[in-house]
Amino acid sequence: MKKIFSSNVDINKNAYLNWRMNRHSDSNNFFTMAESFSNSTFILLDSILNDNTDKKADSIIFPILYSADHSIELYLKAIIIKIHNDNQSEEKLKITHDIDKLFEKAKELINKYYDNNVESLNEALSNLESYITELYSYIVKPDDKKKKPQMDFARYPLDTKNNDYFYVKSFDNVVVDIENLKNRFENITDSLESVYYYLEEKYEVQN
């Protein structure tokens, strides 16, 4: 049996995990991986919008939502690490999968280091803020005092305490408008990428 990590004689049938990575830039690598999950999200969304006669949407909505949320996490971490490193901050960064906390941290650092562009940068992230608010209304339990989001809702049907997630226990249909999701996610992705590119340009000008 051929190994998974092996080459095909046809170069177009190979994937190179290292080609887009930069061993000298963590923020670049987070951004690159964010793009990869974002791209996979759009590929799956487009496959549904092109033809959903087989009702594939009901199945692949889970990897779509997981990839979308994971890409947001990675974009935010890329932005946070970029600001942190470019400004030579000595603050120890806390690792989390909570995209709301990452969002707040990104805004905090933007407000701290980029006074002249705070308003435009925060405005660029406003679409993400509304998405997080909506998402968390589903994945944060009302009785949870710690307000911990269940970020793995699209990975598993049960939480860590073996309780059904909201879409499993619902008696009503839990519906996602795929066309709207694509439009919203395009907007969010464009905004996150524009913020990161701004940070890159700002650093190059200063150095």
Q: Which two tokens stand for residue 130?
A: 């509304």
Exposed, middle or buried by CB within 10 Å (0-12, 13-18, 19+), for 172? Answer: exposed
Residue in 89, 96, 95 with CA at minimum distance from that of residue 110 = 89
Q: What's the pLDDT tens digit per position in 78-131?
A: 999 999 999 988 888 888 999 999 999 999 998 888 876 777 777 878 889 999
Backbone angles phi, psi at 164, to 5 degrees: -60, 145
* pLDDT score recorded for residue 90: 84
Can you tell me the distance from the alpha carbon of 202 to that of 193, in angstroms, rounded to the nearest whole number? 14
DSSP string, 138-178: HHS-TT-TT----TTTTT-SB-TTSPBPHHHH-SS-----H
DSSP string, 82-129: HHHHHTT--PPPPP---HHHHHHHHHHHHHHH-GGGHHHHHHHTHHHH
| pLDDT tens for each residue of 154-202 | 999 999 889 999 999 999 999 999 999 999 999 999 999 999 999 998 8
pTM of the model: 0.94
Q: CB under 8 Å to 168, separation ≥6 — which residues?
A: 157, 158
Q: Nearest to residue 193, comparing CAs of 19, 68, 35?
A: 35
